[in-house]
Chain A
Amino acid sequence: MHIRLKVWRQETQDAAGKMESYELNNVSDDMSFLEMLDMLNEQLMKQGIRPVEFDHDCREGICGQCGIMINGRPHGPLKNTTTCQLHMRTFRDGDEIYVEPFRATAFPVKCDLKVDRSPFDRIIQSGGFISTNTGQAPEANTTRISSPLVESAFDAAACIGCGACVAVCKNSSAALFTSAKITHMALLPQGKEEAQARVLNMVKQMDEEGFGHCSNTEACEAECPQEISVLHIARMNWEFNKAHALKK
């Protein structure tokens, strides 16, 4: 395949960025999108051009480190797919592909396609955990959890923190990410004790990081590689209102 690329190049966070055009020949159908970028980088280095920096690690769709805008969509055109699991057979010979970083005020660009997603860590630090110390746990089967309940919690816990939900949202809202964690813990008996403080703190932190509000367009769910449901946002709102109402 012959592929034409328009790639966002930005040397540092403070530098001005711009789109650059590149062309690639002999791209194979079986290559992943990131392997295509590897090929591009090899070609650029042969020409003495600085290779394109991009984030990636496991290349199995589970670590959440990859994530770029491909033709204006986070992780590209396929539903529920990370960039590393997007294969070039999805494109056609001669296609022109626009490649850009995730864009959100809360995710500043570090270099080319790499962005800073540390705000997600700070949201988790504000309450996205169950306060249990090592070596204190009771026998696991003393906490009975029905299979449907644990499966629902799992549906939320499956979030990989890639940030696609933020990148696709017109308000750059982190509601899907934050609500997934809140749901995961609010559903489980282990997480109930701290549910009120958790939701209040996490929502506050989310706002302080500069993420926008959720306005229910649901693009996040449509672009989420893990099919995280927007119903978690409804649960977050419910938990938030409940916590507010019960706040002493």
Chain B
Amino acid sequence: MLESKIPDGPLEDKWSNYKAHAKLVNPANRKKLEIIVVGTGLAGSSIAASLGEMGYKVKSFCFQDTPRRAHSVAAQGGVNACKNYKNDGDSVFRMFYDTIKGGDFRAREGNVYRLAECSTSLIDQAVAQGVPFGREYGGYLNNRSFGGVQVSRTFYARGQTGQQLLLGAYQALMRQVAAGTVQLFARHEMQDLVVIDGKAKGVIIRNMDTGAIERHAGHAVILATGGFGKIYFLSTLAMGCNGSAIWRAHKKGALIANPSWTQIHPTSLPQSGEYQSKLTLMSESLRNDGRIWVPKQKDDQRPPNQIPEEERDYYLERRYPAFGNLSPRDIASRAAKERIDAGYGIGPLKNAVYLDFSKAIREQGENAIRKKYGNLFRMYQKITNVNAYTEPMRISPAAHFSMGGLWVDYELMTTIPGLYALGEANFADHGANRLGANSLLQACVDGYFITPYTIANYLADEIRTPLADLNHPAFAEAEDNVKEQLRLLLAIQGKQPADFFHRALGKILYDKCGLSRSAAGLEEAITAIKDLRKDFYKDLYVPQGLGVNAELEKAGRVADYLELGELMCYDALTRNESCGAHFREEYQTPDGEALRVDKDFSFISAWEWQGADKPPLLHKEPLHFEFVTPTVRSYK
């Protein structure tokens, strides 16, 4: 059932061979083919713009008021590309190896090599679009080192790389809208996927201004809807980020892979109060110059600047001397949690650690630090009222990036023919843990350089297939189901708003299926989520009205999260090992490091929906390592 379609042959030739042999669609035939793209972040905008340029007819949907708001905009740190501009030994193979290793050997070699291979073209593409990457004084591009690697391969546009890359993709998309190849539908949310004769043929969409339910047909459907880390409620994601599009596709037959692997980011601002709606991320680039520590003494009440050097525990430098403060995210997050749980946490809720710039400021001067991170320091001060130039920042781990997502093959096609998943919406490339600055990269190359080739390979056989009839019973049935679900949510008329259930779900997941997990905890979580879901359908309150109704939108997303959350726990429960973002308390070395079990778990878990209240069905795609040998990740 799970055919990964990795091309044969040497690693470095797989992608060129694929491109050389993939089927093509004649330019004259492209305008006969219509493609639906859901989501307008880096993956969605870049694929919609690319397909538009090629001459396909594209419909682009987003739930925000304009495509430029997609959450890719918030990525601060940078984007990786193995250009070797610093002559420090970088290469496609080295980037491939770092990414495979960073993902704890739980990704496909072929996909990861292609990611590294396409990375260099992305910088060229973005520069051509006018993305203002940082430059050296001679006018050449600058780059820097980022968490988990020992070469400088991260390109950046101040602390707003995501914003600038997204604007590049958004502008390319707007150019196609003006050219008439792309039709744009902002404030439109996908409600369901339409499958006819086993192939993806359209979507049901809710117009969020009028409440109208619309049918749209396409020869192929692309989901580029981002990740579902917001399932934890408190996360670094935008408020609207959700898992609904991929979840509805899952219920229509698309398998979901590795759903429990959600990256917890080490450098977020800590929670400060009960009404808090999100945790703000501070770019990981801060770890280039900031040193992370907690007091050596438990419950130390002294302000940080009064704690002398010898009474500070720089625990990352102590435990992982080779990488220190630049240890990969899973290592850095877990080490922080370990200190916090052991009673060394700082701040009013004792839920944070210090990120200290005093040494860097002493050595490089305040101006140098201001130049590199000025906007982040300003943002920190706005939120916390603390000046991080004179006092260490307080940071804490927070849910961030979903490595799991819809299962896709090498062509980025899901198990439903004609349905593609790009960027964070798919599971590919990152394995069990994503390296810093690889998320923007994956989203962009999926959209600009990979799918334009792979989708043609599918569409070449669809040229004579007419667009699905909007009156087909499959459309009617999907629309009826959507309307029925909306009616159901509006009819409950209980007492608690959707956020109440979302917070409760987030707490269960953070405690039992977050930074560390245990079999007993996961079983408790599954029961608790089932109970919470029952309560949701008894006690949810949604204000009436089918027009603009943000609470109704939230309720639909929380309903999906309540099912997805349970699947995450099943996934975590079946994996009896510690690996990347998944740390099972039963599987650790004597000194508390993750204990991976390659002989039993070197596979991708792909889950099939069996119906409400039935346990999901696990399929396994074995991982083969031909070109690297999985080793224990040691950052000591």
Q: Which residues of A contact B (CB under 8 A)?
A: 11-12, 28, 30-32, 34-35, 38-39, 41-42, 45-46, 50-51, 53, 55-65, 78, 81, 85, 87, 89, 110-111, 114, 116-118, 120-121, 124-126, 128-141, 143-147, 150-151, 153-154, 157-158, 160-161, 184-185, 188, 190-191
Cα distance A59–B238 when bound, in Å?
7
Known: A118-B186, A134-B49. A34 touches B277 (CB 8 A): yes
User: B residues 127-141 with Cβ under 8 Å of A?
Assistant: 127-130, 132-141
User: B residues 482-504 with Cβ under 8 Å of A?
Assistant: 495, 497, 499
Known: A129-B175, A146-B135, A154-B132. A51 touches B550 (CB 8 A): yes
- Top 10 A-B residue pairs of the complex, sorted by shortest distance between their CB atoms: A144-B139, A129-B171, A137-B128, A137-B124, A111-B548, A140-B127, A125-B178, A154-B132, A132-B128, A58-B238
Is there contact, CB below 8 Å, between A139 and B73? no
Chain A nearest CB: distance from B49 CB in Å? 7
Which chain A residue has the least Cβ–Cβ distance from B67? A121
Contacts of A85 in B (CB 8 A): 379, 382-383
Is there contact, CB below 8 Å, between B133 and A121? no
Is there contact, CB below 8 Å, between B497 and A45? yes
Is there contact, CB below 8 Å, between B277 and A59? yes
Asked if B167 CB lies within 8 Å of chain A CBs, one says yes
User: Which of B30-38, B158-166, B612-620 faces chain A?
Assistant: B158-166
Chain B nearest CB: distance from A193 CB in Å? 11
Asked if B253 CB lies within 8 Å of chain A CBs, one says no
Which chain A residue has the least Cβ–Cβ distance from B184? A121
Asked if B278 CB lies within 8 Å of chain A CBs, one says yes
Known: A38-B499, A153-B132. A125 touches B174 (CB 8 A): yes
**When the two chains form the complex, which single residue of A31, A61, A110, A121 contacts B66, counting CB atoms closer than 8 Å?**
A121
Chain B nearest CB: distance from A161 CB in Å? 6
**When the two chains form the complex, which single residue of B85, B172, B278, B385 contacts A89, counting CB atoms closer than 8 Å?**
B385
**When the two chains form the complex, which single residue of A35, A124, A143 contacts B127, counting CB atoms closer than 8 Å?**
A143
Asked if B373 CB lies within 8 Å of chain A CBs, one says no
Chain B nearest CB: distance from A39 CB in Å? 6
Asked if B551 CB lies within 8 Å of chain A CBs, one says yes
Contacts of B53 in A (CB 8 A): 133-134
Contacts of B209 in A (CB 8 A): 110
**New A-B pairs, 10, CB < 8 Å, besides A129-B172, A147-B139:** A34-B277, A38-B277, A55-B65, A78-B382, A125-B175, A132-B129, A146-B138, A154-B158, A157-B130, A157-B167
Known: A124-B174, A138-B128. A150 touches B134 (CB 8 A): yes
Contacts of A51 in B (CB 8 A): 543, 550-551
Is there contact, CB below 8 Å, between B132 and A135? no
Contacts of B124 in A (CB 8 A): 137-140
**When the two chains form the complex, which single residue of B65, B132, B281 contacts A188, counting CB atoms closer than 8 Å?**
B132
Which chain A residue has the least Cβ–Cβ distance from B76? A62
Asked if B329 CB lies within 8 Å of chain A CBs, one says no
Cα distance A154–B548 when bound, in Å?
36
Is there contact, CB below 8 Å, between B382 and A81? yes
Known: A31-B275, A114-B548, A136-B128. A60 touches B140 (CB 8 A): no
Is there contact, CB below 8 Å, between A116 and B65? yes
Which chain A residue has the least Cβ–Cβ distance from B371? A151
Is there contact, CB below 8 Å, between B130 and A190? yes
Asked if B56 CB lies within 8 Å of chain A CBs, one says no
Known: A45-B543, A129-B175. A63 touches B71 (CB 8 A): yes
Asked if B587 CB lies within 8 Å of chain A CBs, one says no
Which chain A residue has the least Cβ–Cβ distance from B128? A137
Which chain A residue has the least Cβ–Cβ distance from B68? A161
Contacts of B121 in A (CB 8 A): 135, 137
| Interface bits B37-59 vs A (CB < 8 Å: 1, else 0) | 00000000010011001000000
Chain A nearest CB: distance from B78 CB in Å? 14
Is there contact, CB below 8 Å, between B125 and A134? yes
Chain B contact residue count (CB 8 A cutoff): 80
Contacts of B574 in A (CB 8 A): none
Is there contact, CB below 8 Å, between A35 and B382? no
Chain B nearest CB: distance from A81 CB in Å? 6
Cα distance A184–B273 when bound, in Å?
40
Cα distance A157–B163 when bound, in Å?
9
Cα distance A176–B240 when bound, in Å?
28
Is there contact, CB below 8 Å, between A28 and B275? yes
Chain B nearest CB: distance from A64 CB in Å? 6
Among A28, A117, A129, which residue has the most Cβ atoms of chain B within 10 A? A129
**When the two chains form the complex, which single residue of B73, B499, B548 contacts A62, counting CB atoms closer than 8 Å?**
B73
Is there contact, CB below 8 Å, between A28 and B273? yes
Is there contact, CB below 8 Å, between B277 and A35? yes
Is there contact, CB below 8 Å, between A185 and B238? no
Is there contact, CB below 8 Å, between A130 and B130? yes
Chain B nearest CB: distance from A138 CB in Å? 6
**When the two chains form the complex, which single residue of A121, A145, A157 contacts B139, counting CB atoms closer than 8 Å?**
A145
Cα distance A42–B140 when bound, in Å?
52
Which chain B residue has the least Cβ–Cβ distance from A146? B139
Chain B nearest CB: distance from A112 CB in Å? 8
Which chain B residue has the least Cβ–Cβ distance from A89? B385
Is there contact, CB below 8 Å, between B66 and A120? yes
Asked if B177 CB lies within 8 Å of chain A CBs, one says yes
Known: A87-B382, A128-B174. A190 touches B129 (CB 8 A): yes
**When the two chains form the complex, which single residue of A12, A56, A150 contacts B135, counting CB atoms closer than 8 Å?**
A150
Cα distance A143–B543 when bound, in Å?
55
Is there contact, CB below 8 Å, between B133 and A60? no
Among B49, B129, B170, B186, which residue has the most Cβ atoms of chain A within 10 A? B129
Known: A63-B74, A63-B238, A121-B184. A137 touches B125 (CB 8 A): yes
Chain A nearest CB: distance from B45 CB in Å? 11
Asked if B276 CB lies within 8 Å of chain A CBs, one says yes
Asked if B280 CB lies within 8 Å of chain A CBs, one says yes
Which chain B residue has the least Cβ–Cβ distance from A42? B497
Contacts of B67 in A (CB 8 A): 121
Cα distance A84–B71 when bound, in Å?
15
Is there contact, CB below 8 Å, between A126 and B452? no
**When the two chains form the complex, which single residue of A65, A134, A139, A160 contacts B163, counting CB atoms closer than 8 Å?**
A160
Asked if B569 CB lies within 8 Å of chain A CBs, one says no
Contacts of B170 in A (CB 8 A): 124
Cα distance A190–B497 when bound, in Å?
50
Is there contact, CB below 8 Å, between A118 and B128? no
**When the two chains form the complex, which single residue of B73, B132, B449 contacts A150, counting CB atoms closer than 8 Å?**
B132
Is there contact, CB below 8 Å, between B280 and A188? no
Which chain B residue has the least Cβ–Cβ distance from A133? B53
Asked if B510 CB lies within 8 Å of chain A CBs, one says no
**When the two chains form the complex, which single residue of A46, A126, A135, A158 contacts B178, counting CB atoms closer than 8 Å?**
A126
Contacts of B590 in A (CB 8 A): none
Contacts of A126 in B (CB 8 A): 178
Cα distance A124–B129 when bound, in Å?
14
Contacts of A121 in B (CB 8 A): 66-68, 174, 177, 184, 186
Contacts of B85 in A (CB 8 A): 141
Which chain B residue has the least Cβ–Cβ distance from A156? B132
Is there contact, CB below 8 Å, between A59 and B171? no
Asked if B611 CB lies within 8 Å of chain A CBs, one says no
Asked if B448 CB lies within 8 Å of chain A CBs, one says yes
Is there contact, CB below 8 Å, between B135 and A147? yes
Which chain A residue has the least Cβ–Cβ distance from B209? A110
Is there contact, CB below 8 Å, between A65 and B64? yes
Contacts of B383 in A (CB 8 A): 32, 85, 87
Contacts of A132 in B (CB 8 A): 125, 128-129, 172
Known: A118-B186, A137-B121, A160-B163. A30 touches B273 (CB 8 A): yes
Known: A137-B124, A185-B130. A130 touches B171 (CB 8 A): yes
Asked if B272 CB lies within 8 Å of chain A CBs, one says yes
